Amino acid sequence: MTERDLFLPVAAQPSVETLVEGARLGEDLGYDTAWLPETWGRDAVTTLTCIARETDEIGVGTSIMPVYSRSPALIGQTATTLQEVSEGRFRLGLGPSGPLVIENWHGVEFGNPLRRTRETVEIVKRVLSGEPVEYDGEIFDLEGFRLRCDPPDPVPAVDTAGMGPKAVELAGRFADGWHALLLTREGLRDRLEDFDRGTELGDRDRSEQRVSLSLTCCVLEDAEEAKRLVRQHVAFYVGGMGSYYRDNLARQGHEAAANEIYDRWQDGDTDGAMAALSDDLLERLAVWGTPETARERFERFTGIDGVAAVSVSFPRAADIDQIRSTMRALAPE
């Protein structure tokens, strides 16, 4: 049975307590894991610590923590601590993010993201084992580090996010799971083939790896407003968050729409970018509607062979009431 996760909103939240309340509501509604991204605003580590302290059963995880903004050893220490604080409920999600975020916001060169992600995963797993870290890689050369506390028990899983074939193959080869985003059902199946190929290359046990799909959702009594919020969100990512999301959509057979959305958004024509995202394509990528109609749309994404969980995510412009409405409408039955 496909698990149902919760992707906590990173934007438009008035306080850490609001995010904690959201996670508590998710726990009450039966969601399996509460994921928190780290982009701008509040950092994921402090916030997840608060959530872990105020919940009892729901899993907690980062989706994603960028591999450029912290050293691999520090990420390992952080995962160790969050596993302790959550009493074994933590799962670490990592990813390179993109040059817009890494270079413009963090001032770090966005070089060789696949290699950096691989080496970070390998070093983090070594840290989590409690053994001395001796590592000679292309990017990192480490020696002498070892946890000065007991290693986490159980050891938290380490997932990676990625959109291109090589990034997803890397996830299958070196990570314990893959976080998928902004994919149609057909596009997801193509990338699952890449993940499975990586699993074979890494001689991994596929049954122990977890693939989760983040799905933008908005459920309101006003279906048109829900659709507008979802459309604005998808257009923003394709058009305004660098070229990775544009290329990801083009790779799935929607090159003309992807380029038009991107070009119009870059030219400041946000209305035109949103208009370039047809209802048909939007329905392939996201879920919206009234409580009566949205669940049917959501169920189209569950039960996909090879996907362990689908995360209910929210439009960036949705307010707290709209987020809570969506959570309740799509909660596990």
The answer to whether 294 touches 330, Cβ cutoff 8 Å, is: yes
pLDDT at position 134 over 70: yes
Domain count, the chain: 1
pLDDT in tens, 8-55: 987 668 999 999 999 999 999 999 999 999 988 899 999 999 999 999
**Residue 208 belongs to domain spanning:** 3-220+286-329
Q: How confident is the model at residue 305 (pLDDT cuts 50, 70, 90)?
A: very high
279 within some domain = no
pLDDT in tens, 111-124: 999 999 999 999 99
pLDDT at 104: 86
278 within some domain = no
240 within some domain = no
Measured in whole angstroms, the distance separating CA 81 from the mean position of its chain's CA atoms is: 21
Measured in whole angstroms, the distance separating CA 48 from the mean position of its chain's CA atoms is: 15
Q: How far apart are CA 120 and CA 67, in angstroms?
A: 7
Stretch 137-166: mean pLDDT: 97
pTM higher than the cut 0.85 = yes
Beta bridge partners of 279: none
pLDDT in tens, 191-200: 999 999 999 9
Cβ within 8 Å of residue 4, ≥6 positions away: 30, 31, 32, 302, 309, 310, 311, 312, 330, 331, 332
250 within some domain = no
> Can you read off the two tokens belonging to residue 174?
């070196």
The answer to whether 92 touches 59, Cβ cutoff 8 Å, is: no
152 within some domain = yes
**Tally of CB atoms within 10 A around 161:** 26
pLDDT in tens, 72-99: 999 999 999 999 999 999 999 999 988 8
DSSP code per residue over 271-307: HHHHHTS-HHHHHHHEEEE-HHHHHHHHHTTTT-TT-
Share of the chain above pLDDT 70, in %: 99
The CATH number covering residue 291 comes to 3.20.20.30
142 within some domain = yes
266 within some domain = no
99 within some domain = yes
> Can you read off the two tokens belonging to residue 136?
């000679």
pLDDT at 12: 64
